[in-house]
Structure 1
Amino acid sequence: MKTMKKLFFMAFGVLLLNACSSDDDTPIEYIPEAFENGILITNEGPFNNGSGTITYVSNDFATVAQNIYRTKNGKELGNIVQSMGFQNDNAYIVVSNSQKITIANRYTFQSVDSITTGLNNPRYFIGADGNKGYVSNWGDPNDNSDDYISVMDLRNNTISATIPVAFGPEKMVAYNNRIYVAHQGAYGQNNLVSVIFGNTVESTITVGDVPNSMVISGNDLYVLCGGNPSYAGTETAGSLVKIDLSTGQVSQTYTFETTQHPNSLTIDATNLLYNLDGKVYKVNTASISLPGTGIIDGFFYTLQAKNGRLYATDAKDFASKGSLNIYDLSTNQLVQDFQTGIIPGGIYFND
């Protein structure tokens, strides 16, 4: 009897060892102590129901952790997790439907503070210097006259000023002490980039219809404009607008076909990449000809490029878990993919 038991446990041990060894390439699902040296994905979550989340993937792909803010703090972020920005050691998580910004340590994700006043449908955060941040606000998305940028005092996490702007302010980039704001148009359509210096709008730059994303390369700002969709009444073509940041003037406009509506511009070295009609296209800034070269197939929700890799999120059916897909841009082949939360809308590198 003892011999039979011994043989049974030996056999069971071999099976267990084989089962474990077959999973050697599977990322470990647990919450690490820190979230540096990795990729953070903001997941919007169900619209008007439930909470958004944040997913962490380590740079070596060995660790994946879901819903890290709730796990660290025992509470939900709220509805909808629109975006996130960094300044110094903090992450500023914009939760649009809950009308707040949740502040957490970017490396531990322990809660630091929150801002619940001075915001109205907040969209994006950007840090300007050690003590100041800016937040784009739609106000009432059906009212084109109440949009503004909140100025944050990061020393005490309060809104110190508001700057009225044209309707539909969205994504922002910083350059030479100025903030460039793309006015996509909220529930409508707009065609402006605002230039903010200090607490005032220094100028506005007219670009193509529905500017949805921007990148800076050298002394140039590239603005990708989706164009007016067909349901807007008069459909207009998407465009890529190049702005000379030394003059603040448009230096070149490249136009797509009328029915082409690109989005999610990112950059890797001198190559611009963006979504268009179920494909990722690449265009070199030294010689721009649209639409460029199609390199990867897929209907992606957002794109970010870094160090020869493309990070792309797939929102699937916008009701179930999405995914983060990582491609090697030297081969355009999929390197790895990971599950995320519902509607993965933002990709951030926490190095």
Structure 2
Amino acid sequence: MKFNAIQLLMALSLALTLFSCMENDPERPLGEYDTGILIMNEGSFGANDGEVFHLNPSTGMIKTNIFEKANSRPFAGLLEDINYENDNLYLVANTGKIEIVNPGDFTSLGAVTSDLDQPRSLTVNSGKLFISDYGPYDENYGTPNSYIAVVRNTLGGSVTKKIPVSRKPEDLISFGKYILVAGSEEGKVEVIDTEKEEVIKIIEVAGKPAVFYEAAGKIWLYSTGSDEVYFYSFHLDNFTLATTNIFPIPNATGKIAFGNNDIMYLLTSSGWPDYNDGIAQVSVLGPELNPNWYSGSGFYGIGFDTTRGELYVANANGFQGNGTITVLDENGNELQTFESGRGPSGFLMR
């Protein structure tokens, strides 16, 4: 086949364009832990032996203690939360530190190891870390001095400011230059301007605010009451309540997994001494409601793999040795059970 001059010039131009794109935008190869499921094992109080396991759901292969193996030192804390933000993984220990790791191989990138009391979660905004922290206990085990800690570097460092908020802040979510804070004990959502580093608005809600999530182009809040649960959405132009949905689900724990087709799975527990635990199934955007979808005891964490349509339920087994994970399909059928670490409490699907 022969090419004329115009065809040759077009082919050369295309080749140069493709080469330029490859040079300017190289694709980062996937690391060992960039896919699969991260299992968060809280650890036991006093031993501070929290750790992360990695599961390949296709092969069933589990790799244990991946932080310690990657960094030649134990995590040494009670693991409260794992957040993937700003292309980094943030491991939050409620014993007073944040470890920042490379998502692909879990090697350390930085840390926040001082001036924290009982951190719960975090978000990244305006090139800073905003960390929810219960603050220190007083003589009555109250937390009157809860705060959002500000670290002006996404790879850690020192706490530069503590923004006072209502007692026991939990989850946070970013929107533009703002973050919303779930104040679990006083039923408040506090809005923080991340540039001013101060609370600019407080929204009163019922129940105990627990988890934020995004759906249908909105930010939602999941909040729990003694006999019901609440799902709130917000007007984000002026930070006011938009909708409130209430479902009669008693004993909700605040732990939730987001499934396919707008279905949510909520952990419930009667607490001590019976510990009759269960999973309720609900859809905020539809009529589905099944408060007794699955039952058992010792449930401590929950997560959903949307790709495979599988629900992961963590059982702490009373912190007597290692915990176990049960995998369910979307009809509540048990697919498998396997051993995890001490106090498995959450999952991050990659």
For the criterion TM > 0.5, the same-fold answer is yes
* Contact 2:245 2:284 (C-alpha < 8 Å) held by counterparts: no
1:319 — aligned with what? 320
Look up the equivalent residue of 2:134 and give its one-letter code. Answer: W
Distance 1:346 1:177, change over 3 A: farther
Check if 1:241 corresponds to 2:231. Answer: yes
Tell me by how many angstroms 1:56 deviates: 0.7
Query: SS at 2:257's partner residue?
Result: strand
Check if 1:118 corresponds to 2:110. Answer: no
Check if 1:279 corresponds to 2:278. Answer: yes
* Contact 1:324 1:339 (C-alpha < 8 Å) held by counterparts: yes
Q: Where in structure 2 are the equivalents of 1:213-224 lying within 5 Å?
A: 213-224=211-222
Tell me by how many angstroms 1:135 deviates: 0.9
Look up the equivalent residue of 1:265 and give its one-letter code. Answer: I
Distance 1:260 1:116, change over 3 A: closer
2:349 — aligned with what? 349
Q: Where in structure 2 are the equivalents of 1:1-351 lying within 5 Å?
A: 34-97=32-95, 99-128=96-125, 131-141=127-137, 142-155=141-154, 157-158=156-157, 159-185=159-185, 190-198=186-194, 199-227=197-225, 236-246=226-236, 247-256=239-248, 260-268=251-259, 269-277=261-269, 278-288=277-287, 292-299=290-297, 300-307=299-306, 308-329=309-330, 331-350=331-350
**Matches of 1:139 and 1:173 in 2, distance apart?**
20
Tell me by how many angstroms 1:288 deviates: 4.7
* Contact 2:252 2:266 (C-alpha < 8 Å) held by counterparts: no
Distance 1:103 1:219, change over 3 A: same
**Matches of 2:233 and 2:207 in 1, distance apart?**
15
Distance 1:136 1:335, change over 3 A: same
Q: Deviations over 1:146-176 (max 9, x none)?
A: 1111122335523343221111001223344
Tell me by how many angstroms 1:42 deviates: 1.6
Distance 1:64 1:204, change over 3 A: same
Moved more, 152-161 or 55-64: 152-161
* Contact 1:208 1:241 (C-alpha < 8 Å) held by counterparts: no
**Matches of 1:282 and 1:225 in 2, distance apart?**
15
Tell me by how many angstroms 1:255 deviates: 4.9
Tell me by how many angstroms 1:343 deviates: 0.6
1:230 — aligned with what? none
What TM-score, normalized to structure 1? 0.77
Tell me by how many angstroms 1:138 deviates: 0.8
Moved more, 197-206 or 161-170: 197-206
Query: SS at 2:207's partner residue?
Result: coil
**RMSD over equivalenced CA pairs, Å:** 2.4
**Matches of 1:283 and 1:156 in 2, distance apart?**
38
**Matches of 2:82 and 2:241 in 1, distance apart?**
29
Q: Deviations over 1:167-205 (max 9, x none)?
A: 1001223344432222223xxxx2112222312223222
Query: SS at 1:154's partner residue?
Result: coil
**Matches of 2:180 and 2:142 in 1, distance apart?**
22
**Matches of 2:88 and 2:344 in 1, distance apart?**
21
Tell me by how many angstroms 1:82 deviates: 1.4
**Matches of 1:287 and 1:112 in 2, distance apart?**
43
1:8 — aligned with what? none
Query: SS at 1:317's partner residue?
Result: helix
Query: SS at 2:69's partner residue?
Result: helix
Distance 1:111 1:173, change over 3 A: same
Q: Deviations over 1:269-304 (max 9, x none)?
A: 311221224221212223357x63533233421222
* Percent of aligned positions that are identical: 22
Distance 1:321 1:192, change over 3 A: same
* Contact 2:124 2:154 (C-alpha < 8 Å) held by counterparts: no
Distance 1:261 1:283, change over 3 A: closer
Tell me by how many angstroms 1:210 deviates: 2.1
Which 4+ residue blocks in structure 1 deviate beyond 4 angstroms? none
Where structure 2 has 5 or more consecutive residues not aligned to the other structure, the ranges are 1-30, 270-276
Query: SS at 1:321's partner residue?
Result: coil
Query: SS at 1:71's partner residue?
Result: helix
What TM-score, normalized to structure 2? 0.77
2:273 — aligned with what? none
* Contact 1:238 1:262 (C-alpha < 8 Å) held by counterparts: no
Distance 1:303 1:245, change over 3 A: farther
Look up the equivalent residue of 2:338 and give its one-letter code. Answer: F
